[in-house]
Structures are given as C-alpha cells and as structure tokens.
Amino acid sequence: MSETTTIVCVVCPVSCAVQVEFEGNGIIRTDHNQCKLALEYVNDELFDPRRTLTTSLAVDGGAKPLVSVKTDHGIPKHRVMEAMQSLSGLHVQAPVHIGDVIVPNLIGTGADLVATRNVAAA
C-alpha cells in the first residue's frame, strides 16, 4: 500500500513542494520538483534525513578572524548539534583555501568538513 506526502525541498531557495508517493523504503513517483537535486533530498528526508552543516571556525595567523566551512555532503540531521559540539574551540592555521579539508570524516559521518572561503596568511 503506497502513501503520498508533500516534502518542501531545502536544497535551494526555490523551495519546491515536492509531492512524493512511496512504499516501504522506496519512492514510486515524485511531482512538482523543478530539478533533479530534489530527488536525493526527498529520498533522504523520508528514510534518512540529512543536512549540510555550514559554520565558521577561528583562524590563527590569518588576514581574517574566521573561515567559513561546510560538510561536503549531508550528515544525519539528528547529529548536527553533536557535530557543532565537536568543533568547539577548534582553530585553523592560515592560509586556508576553498576546498581544503579541515576535518576529515566529521564525527564518523563519512562527510569531510571543507573550507568555503580563502583566508590568506596575515
């Protein structure tokens, strides 16, 4: 017996209200999504909700006090605060470049924490 629900895709600001029909642990059909990035999000949201974590970390010896970072893919939604706790007090040494891996395999999620901003050495 399939079920139908609506999930707001959060991948980008378009906020597609995706209609999804699913059964067991598989999606049968989706509608009202503008692009295919929604498909992976909707699937995860139903069976394994994930979020990309973005935050900033202190930089030592840099031209700027902070470097922004993100997980290179989604981590389980219920582990987001735990991930933030693990980063508390962490400092990064300048220079930092976009894409540099700052923390590999963040709290064992398989996702790497990478820099999203260039910070030159002071």
The CB density around residue 70, as the number of other CB atoms within 10 Å, is 16
Binding other proteins by CB under 8 A: which of 40, 44, 70, 76? 70
CA 109 distance to own-chain centroid:
11
Binding other proteins by CB under 8 A: which of 2, 3, 4, 10? 10
Q: Considering the complex, state which of residue 26 and residue 99 has its C-beta at the smaller distance from other proteins.
A: 99
Can residue 84 be called a binding residue for other proteins (CB under 8 A)? yes
Strand, coil or helix: 27: strand
Strand, coil or helix: 47: helix
Stretch of residues binding other proteins (CB under 8 A), selected from 22-30, 73-81, 101-109 = 73-81
**Min. distance of Cβ 82 from other proteins in angstroms?**
12
How far is residue 32's CA from residue 114's CA, in Å, rounded to a whole number?
32
The CB density around residue 104, as the number of other CB atoms within 10 Å, is 10
Binding other proteins by CB under 8 A: which of 77, 79, 100, 107? 77
Helix-strand-coil split of the chain, %, nearest 5: 20, 40, 40
Can residue 90 be called a binding residue for other proteins (CB under 8 A)? no
**Min. distance of Cβ 14 from other proteins in angstroms?**
7
Can residue 117 be called a binding residue for other proteins (CB under 8 A)? yes
